[in-house]
Amino acid sequence: MKYEVIAREELASFVGHLLPETEVVGVKRKGSAYAYDKIESPDELCLDYNVTLLPPKVYLTPPLESLLSFQLGKTPKVKPVIKASPLVIFGVHPDDLKAIELMDAVYADPKNPDANYMERKKNLTIIGVDCLDPSPTAFAASMGTNVTDTGFDLMLTDIGDSYVVEIGSAKGEQLLKKHGKTKKAEQAHLTKRQEARQKAASKYQLSLLVQPREIPRLLEGNWEHPVWKELGEKCFSCGSCTMVCPTCVCFDVRDEMATNLANGERLRQWDSCMLTDFAKVASGENFRKDGVNRLRHRLFRKGKYMLELYGKLGCVGCGRCVKVCLVDIASPVQAYNRIKGGR
């Protein structure tokens, strides 16, 4: 790995030079919360945030997008719709980077790559930042996702008056060389970086009683555990937990006709396994008609099914689901710890 150091004021200059060249999305303060949005000035960028309202996956798989347009008639016409342009996402936390790697496993599968996702990813530059002040609902340290050495073009770590910059790709190196004024990192800088990461890891307030690699086996033997009924019966089936999740990939596809009944488009929209009709089929049968089955399915998917399908656990410990759940039942930590603790 290559490491550089950039002074705090020079980082602002780096961002300023990026803005005229390409669209930059970064984290902004939204009252007491944080959200990704287009950056117009370096002053808008916030790098010391704890967690954003929505994950950066919204720029790779939008909540609603057109996949193709079509025209009816004697000779029907179909045209793919792929909207992608160069984009820099600035300030992505390691847990969200790990989530994007899972998205890659799903949408960039060589056997069946998703054209829209692939085009957006090709046009994307990711600049990460270490989370040094984690959210009270996060448990990324337990999942091993509070730090990462993959999934980014550049990775920043705040060490006080400057940032250590880890170079993760040739694209990131070229960008830094073109727009950034840096110096080679020395061992003292890397020591400060490690100390900052260790201090941040100690700040997590939630933790798992089980190692991530043990979660699948824990779930296998506890399909009938009473925790599913206790938590699931409180569920509102609102889908909030899945809407903010950085690793949920379920979607619905529908065709919409224009009022002239001659033109239309095929739309893809986020869907959620926690919604009442998600598992309902044309005959009217619903394979997961109650909250108990839906909640259990979601947590089995996070802790077991995604690993079996894609080689990665479906939870990165960002804590967004814990934060938004109105009745405090969405937390994977809560369920997994209850099962591990035998109650």
Q: Quick one: pLDDT at residue 73? A: 87
pLDDT at 342 over 80: no
Maximum alpha-carbon separation in the chain: 72
Mean pLDDT of 27-52: 96
pLDDT, tens only, 282-321:
999 999 999 999 999 999 999 999 999 999 999 999 999 9
Answer whether 242's CB lies under 8 Å from 272's CB.
yes
Q: What is the pLDDT averaged over residues 78-83?
A: 95
pLDDT at 343 over 80: no
Q: At what angle do helices 291-300 and 332-340 cross, to 10 degrees?
A: 90
Whole-number Cα distances in Å, 275 to 82, 288, 307: 28, 10, 23
Residue 280, pLDDT > 70, answer: yes
Q: Which of 92, 87, 101 is nearest to 55 (CA)?
A: 92
Asked if 231 and 334 touch (Cβ cutoff 8 Å), the reply is: yes
Residue 56 is given by DSSP the state G
Torsions phi, psi of 253, nearest 5? -125, 135
Angstrom distance (rounded) from CA 114 to CA 156: 30
Percent of the chain with pLDDT strictly greater than 90: 97
pLDDT at 7: 97
Q: How far apart are CA 281 and CA 236, in angstroms?
A: 21
* For residues 248-277, average pLDDT: 95
What pLDDT digit, counting tens, does each position of 139-149 carry? 999 999 999 99
- Mean pLDDT of the region 199-218: 96
Does residue 17 have a pLDDT over 80? yes
Span 13-27, average pLDDT:
97
Query: 277 CB contacts (<8 Å, ≥6 apart)?
Result: 286
Return mean pLDDT, the chain.
Answer: 96
DSSP string, 206-249: ---SS-GGGHHHHHHT-TT-HHHHHHHTT-----HHHHS-SS--
120 phi and psi, to 5 degrees? Answer: -65, -40
Mind listing the pLDDT tens digit for each residue in 95-147? 999 999 999 999 998 889 999 999 999 999 999 999 999 999 999 999 999 99
Give pTM, 2 decimals: 0.95
Measured over the CA atoms of residue 11, residue 13, residue 16 and residue 20, the dihedral's sign is negative
Determine the Cα–Cα distance for residues 221 and 300; give it in Å rounded to an integer: 12
Residue 62 C-alpha from the chain's centroid: 12
What is the tens place of the pLDDT at every residue in 156-166? 999 999 999 99
Segment 58-80 shows an average pLDDT of 95
Q: What is the rounded distance in angstroms from the CA atom of residue 280 to the CA atom of residue 75?
A: 35
